[in-house]
Amino acid sequence: MNWHEQLLEENYALERVIGCGGAGVVCAARHLRLGLRVALKFLRPDKPRDPEAVSRLVREGQIMARIHSPHVARMLDIGRLPDGEPFLVMEYLEGCDLAALLEARGPLASAEAVAYVRQAAAGLAAAHAHGIIHRDLKPSNLFLTLAPNGSPLVKIVDFGTAEPSGSVDAAALEFPGKALDMGSPPFVAPEQLRAERPADAKSDIWALGAALFTLLVGRSPFERRYLSETYLAILSGRIPDLSALRPDIERPLAAIVERCLAKEPERRFGSAAELCAALTPFAARARRAGAARAVRARPGRVSRSMTRFEPAAESSVR
């Protein structure tokens, strides 16, 4: 029985594949009874099945369901195929991720980049308040869509490698009990590479600072040609001078990015909420200037030719 036949029994009709990662595939679908468009995440059909992969998928749904923030993609349900395999039902996002936006337009204006990352910091603060560490923050996991009022809205997506902190009952989240994949190399904090301590809120703050640097400059702060060189730069390399790379960026903003990227976790912001507050004055300029823009995606892919986020007929998310 193929996915279409299986999902008809579960009240969903698949429309198209909208994303594929290392372990999962995301499809746009429509609820047959409600007429609601949703995003369904399955385990990849070309990967071998094992209990840990199934547990990770269920745990991702449980984690996302705990976080209530306009800046985190909403989890709607965990369904089951007739063979018992789980799938996630999420809100459908129309728009593009910030990596695609960067590819289409190049480095963003500072006020625009800050406005987006500030929203991500707000979502991250909500996750941390529930004891959830994302562990894989990067531009491609920050999705830009439209709020109901037509304003740009950033949501954190893909909690596939997220972990509960020590304050959360891991067993309640079907936590497999061992460390998951570390994340994307250019956005992995130094302490994670050293394996000297578990990833925590400060690790996510480092990654978000690296994401902001990337949106401003067009490349991640420590990315090198070879993976070993990237790791060495993260561990011991100097933080690039953002003001030298972008002379139009004010020194106070550059100092915020540098603080996020400090090698020692205790030198970073104390919390995502503190980072959000520090970015607020710079993000406010984007609102006043009307500078926030995004790429609106055509069905199934990002439209590379568009550079402005146009109001959509349906304000929904992937």
What residues act catalytically?
136
SS3 (DSSP) at 206: helix
Between CA 143 and CA 147 the distance in angstroms is 12
**The tokens 């991250």 sit on which residue?**
124
Tokens representing 311? 């109001």
Tokens representing 113? 């980049």
Between CA 233 and CA 190 the distance in angstroms is 9
Phi, psi of 48, rounded to the nearest 5 degrees? -65, 145
Tokens representing 9? 């029994």
Between CA 39 and CA 60 the distance in angstroms is 14
Between CA 73 and CA 67 the distance in angstroms is 9
DSSP-assigned letters across all residues of 66-129: H---TTBPPEEEEEE-TTS-EEEEEEPB-SEEHHHHHHHH-SPPHHHHHHHHHHHHHHHHHHHH
